[in-house]
Amino acid sequence: MTGPRFDRYDWAGGREAMLRFGPDAGPRVVAVLPLFEEANRTRAFLVAMLRALAGRGIGSILPDLPGTGESVVETRDLRLPDLRQAFAALVGTLGVPVHAVAIRSGALVDCDASLAGRWRLAPQSGGDLLRDLNRIRAASTMPDEDGFAGNSLSATLLADLQDAVPYAASRTVKLESDPRPADARYPGAPLWRRSEPGSDAALAEVLAADVAGWIATCGG
């Protein structure tokens, strides 16, 4: 099967949903959305990337991690170690080489998994994520003691994020507007900065081609 289909995976905290794309044989991509509000803005774009990878014969999985998507875990109960444990548990069940593809703060999630490689789009540290969250909170016209762009986050999770940094990347890709070091740059708008969810079909195709080429250099 190559079309998108729903599945489940288990971790120590329960059972979560995931979406599969492409073939079930061969190397696999497990993709990670940014955390919190940026996930809503980039989900359609990441799905477009995974569909494009399927068209290149590369299978992928987009999991709902604890406290995200359709998870039964409440966001206010979320901890960064839970995200990492769930991701690692999923990867450990696949039995094939797994390549992580992460956008922004999604790069904080794959640290504990055994992976063939890590591809990042504009990776973000926990400290940078907190600065964005606090900026959004300060700009809100309806302040909430625990609320960050509609997400209720515990002090414990915020402490988890404070010093969190991504595991060393195998390949880092950024947009041309980002001056920081990268292995490649591509033209495009930062969808995670938009006020509404969106996508960019041309950029999704370009980045899927980059991921496919990178996987080929990793030896499959």
Q: Give the HSE-up count for residue 181: Cα atoms under 13 Å, Cβ half-sphere.
A: 2
Sign of the CA dihedral with 114 first, then 120, 199, and 76 last: positive
User: What dihedral angle (degrees, nearest 10) is formed by the CA atoms of 45, 49, 52, 54?
Assistant: -120
Q: Which two tokens stand for residue 162?
A: 């404070």
Band (pLDDT 50/70/90 cuts) for residue 134 is confident
Tell me the H-state helices in the chain: 37-55, 80-92, 126-139, 155-162, 201-217
Q: CA 103, 69, 49 angle in degrees (round to 5)?
A: 40
Is the pLDDT at 1 greater than 60? The verdict is no
For the entire predicted model, the pTM comes to 0.92
Mean pLDDT computed over 190-209: 90
Band (pLDDT 50/70/90 cuts) for residue 146 is low
Band (pLDDT 50/70/90 cuts) for residue 220 is low
Q: CA 19, 71, 45 angle in degrees (round to 5)?
A: 45
The percent of residues in the chain predicted with pLDDT above 90, rounded, is: 71
pLDDT tens digits, one per residue of 151-182 = 788 899 999 999 999 999 999 999 999 999 99
5-217 carries CATH number 3.30.56.10: no
pLDDT at 183: 96
